[in-house]
Amino acid sequence: MSNTRPARNRLAATTSPYLLQHANNPVDWYPWGPEALERARTEDRPILLSIGYSACHWCHVMAHESFEDEAVARTMNEHFVNIKVDREERPDLDRIYQTAHQLLTDRPGGWPLTVFLTPEQVPYFCGTYFPRASQYGLPGFHEILGQLAQAYREQREAIAKQNKGVLDALKRISEPPPGAGAVTPALLDKALNALASEFDPTFGGFGHSPKFPQPSSIERLLRHYARTAGAAVPDDDALRMARLTLRKMALGGIYDQIGGGFARYSVDNYWIIPHFEKMLYDNGQLLALYADAWQATGEKLFRRVAYETAEWALREMRHPDGAFYASLDADSEGGEGAFYLWTPDEIRNVLPAEEAELVLARCGIDKHPNFEGRWHLYVRLSFTDLVKNLRRPREELVALWQSARTRLREAREQRSPPPRDEKILTSWNALMVIGLARAARRFGNTAFTAAGEQTLQFLHSNLWRDGRLLAVWKDGRADLQAYLDDHAYLLAALLEQLQARWNPRWLQWARAIADLLVERFEDKANGGLYFTADDHEPLVQRPRPLADDACPSGNAIAALALARLGHLLAEPRYLDAAERTVQTGAGAMKAMPHGHCALITALEEQLTPVETVLIRCPPGEETDWRGVVEHDYAPARQVFFLPWDESPTELGAVRLEGRGAWICRGTRCLAPLKTVSDLTEQLSRRGD
C-alpha cells in the first residue's frame, strides 16, 4: 500500500467527463467496480464514495477545496478506498445512496453526495458538500476524515447495528407501499387539490425557493383541464395554475432569453436568477410541455418558447451524428453564470441604438444589477407594456427584439462557453425525442421530426446490442446496462415518433423494449417495475421508484407506454403489466398524490383508456386529416398515419382497407370513417 500521489489515477481510463475532471487529483480515485470493492474487502477498509456530475457547481467547489489539496488527499488515501461515481451514468447507485442519506440525516440529499461505506457497501455516515475546514455551520471535510476512519476502527459494533437498521429500511422502501387496492377517479381530484395547496398564486410553481420547473406536475394540471373541458363547468383552475407557471418561467431568468433553453432551477421565488447549468432532461420535457400548452391555449408565447428551446438543443447540444449531449455547466470563464451576464455598455456596444434601448427597457437593465454586479436578463416589461410605454406597434417591437436577440447571441458566442458534458444518455435522449416529436406534430415541423428520427437511429446503432439496451455512450464506447428509465422513456419516445412519422422499424423496437420491461424488470409477485434488470450487478437495494423527481417516475412512464402499445397492438401482456404497475402504486398515490403526478396520469389512462386513431390516406391528403386530429389538445389520444396502400392490412385489432380513419377507445373499435368530416364528428363525441 502506498500513500504517495498517483501520477494519474484510475479515472483516466474512463469516458465520463465528470470522472475525467478528477483524473489528475492527488486522490487515489477508483471508478465503482470490482477492483475497488475487492480492495475494501481484502484490506478491511471503509469506502469513501463521492457522487456528482460534471455540470454541478458545488461539486467543482468541493473538488477545488478538498480533492485537489495534497494534505486532504493524503488522509483520504491513507484511510479509505476512494470511489468516484457520475450520477448520470449510475443513477442506480445515486438513487440508493440518496435514500440512505435521507434515512441517516433526515434531510434531502443533493450533489456532491459524500457517503462513507463499510466494505459491504452499507453507509455509516452521509453528507453532501463539505468545506475543507469548518465554515457555513458545516464541519470541515479534512477534520471528519480522521474521525470517520477512527469510528470505523473503534465502533464496529455500533456501526454494524446501524447498518442492519439501514438495510432493513432500504428493504422496506423497495417493497410495494401499503394501501394497494382499488384506485378511483377521486385520486385525480385529490392530486389537483394537493398541487393547489402547494401552488404559488403570484409567481407560479410549487413551494418556495429553490424553485424547480416540475414538468410532471404542470402536465398533470393540463391533463386535468383537458379531462374536464367537456364538462358543464370546466375546471379552469387547473389551466390557470399551469398557464401562470409556464408564463412566469418563460419570462423569467430560468429561461435563457437570448439563446433559448431552460436552466435547472431558480434560486429565488420569482424565476429570475437560475442555477445556470442546463440539463437535457429538463429541456426535453419542457419542449413537450410548452408545445402542449400552446395547443391547449393558443398562447403565442408558449409556441415561441417551444421553438426556441428546440432550436437551442439542435444548435448547441447535438452530436454530429444526431443524438444530444447531456448538459452545459453552470460555470465558465469568469465564474458561475458569467457566460450569460451583461452590462448596459456591453449591450449598447453590440446593438443599434433603438434595439439597445428596447432590450434595456424590456429587461429592466436601468435598475440595480441582479447578479454579482452585472445583469442576468429576464423580461421585466411585456410587449403589451412596451407598446404603451414606447408608443410603437407591437409588430415593430417584436421584430426589434428578435433582431436584438440574434445579435446578442452572436456576440455571446464569442465568449468562452460553459463546458459541455458530451456523453449521450439513452434516457435523456428519449425525453428529447418525445419533446421533438410532440412539437413536430403540434407545429407541423418536419425538421423536428427528422431530428427525432436521427436520434433514434443513433441510439439503435450505438446503444442497442444483442437484444439489450445500454445506458451511456461516449467517444465511441457504449457501456452500462440500461435502467428502468432508459427503457420506459425510450418506449414512450418510440410511440411519440411513430405518431410524427410511421416507421415499422420503430414499432418492432418498441415491442422488444416492452418485452424487456415485462421480462427483466417486473416484479412478478407484486407488480411494478424495479429500477434495475434481473441480471444487474447486485447492490444493497433494488429500488422500485414510484415518485417523480426531476424526471417522471420510470414506473409511471412504463405503465403509460405499455398500455398505449398494448392498445395499439391489442396485446394483453402489455395491458396487464401496465395495470399491475398502477395497482402497485395505489398506496403511494393515496398517500402523496402530488408527488406521483405521472403515476396519476397512468391511472387516468387506466380509468379511461387511450383513444387510438389509425389513419391511412394518400400523401396529398395527410394535411387535412392531421389538421383534424391535431386541432385540439387531446392528451389521451394517440394518432398514427400508416403508409398509404389500397390493399388491406391488419394492425392489432383493426383491419385497414383503403383510405380512412379507424378509432379504438380502449378495446372497443368503431366502424371505419371514410371522410375527414366523419372523423371530425366522431372525435367530437369522445365523451359518448
Least confident of 178-182, 191-195, 231-235, 440-444: 231-235
For position 234, what pLDDT does the model report? 63
Least confident of 177-186, 218-227, 263-272, 327-336: 177-186
The beta strands (E) that lie in 251-325 are given as 265-266, 274-275, 278-279
Q: Which pLDDT tens digit goes with each residue over 592-615?
A: 999 999 999 999 999 999 999 999
State how far the Cα of 238 lies from the Cα of 223, in Å rounded to an integer: 9
Query: Coil, helix or strand for 664?
Result: strand
State how far the Cα of 625 lies from the Cα of 610, in Å rounded to an integer: 19
User: Which residue in 113, 2, 100 sits closest to 56, CA to CA?
Assistant: 113
The stretch 510-534 carries a mean pLDDT of 96
- DSSP assignment of 574-632: HHHHHHHHHHHTHHHHHH-GGG-HHHHHHHHHHHSPPEEEEEE--GGGHHHHHHHHTSS
Share of the chain above pLDDT 70, in %: 97
State how far the Cα of 421 lies from the Cα of 51, in Å rounded to an integer: 16
For position 251, what pLDDT does the model report? 97
Q: Which pLDDT tens digit goes with each residue over 525-574?
A: 889 999 999 999 999 999 999 999 999 999 999 999 999 999 999 999 99
Contacts with 207 (C-beta within 8 Å, 6 or more apart), sequence order: 198, 200
Confidence of residue 364 (pLDDT cuts 50, 70, 90): confident
Q: Which pLDDT tens digit goes with each residue over 152-190?
A: 999 999 999 999 999 999 999 888 777 666 788 999 999
Q: Please, is 524 exposed, middle or buried when counting C-beta atoms within 10 Å of its C-beta (0-12, 13-18, 19+)?
A: exposed
To the question of pTM greater than 0.75 for the whole model, the response is yes
| Max Cα-Cα span within the chain | 81
User: Which residue in 242, 233, 232 sits closest to 192, CA to CA?
Assistant: 242
Q: Residue 665: enclosing H or E segment and its boundaries?
A: strand 660-665
State how far the Cα of 315 lies from the Cα of 420, in Å rounded to an integer: 13
* CA-atom Rg of the chain in angstroms: 26
Could you tell me if 633 and 226 are in contact, meaning their C-beta atoms sit under 8 angstroms apart?
Answer: yes
Query: Coil, helix or strand for 640?
Result: strand
For position 688, what pLDDT does the model report? 44
Count other C-beta atoms under 10 Å from residue 381's C-beta. Answer: 17
For position 476, what pLDDT does the model report? 95
Q: Which pLDDT tens digit goes with each residue over 15-33?
A: 999 999 999 999 999 999 9
SS (H, E, C) 435-503: HHHHHHHHHCCHHHHHHHHHHHHHHHHHHEECCEEEEEEECCEEEEECCHHHHHHHHHHHHHHHHHCCC
**CA neighbours closer than 13 Å in the CB half-sphere of residue 88:** 27
Residue carrying C-alpha cell 429538463: 282
State how far the Cα of 276 lies from the Cα of 327, in Å rounded to an integer: 11
Q: Please, is 535 exposed, middle or buried when counting C-beta atoms within 10 Å of its C-beta (0-12, 13-18, 19+)?
A: exposed
Q: Which pLDDT tens digit goes with each residue over 277-308?
A: 999 999 999 999 999 999 999 999 999 999 99
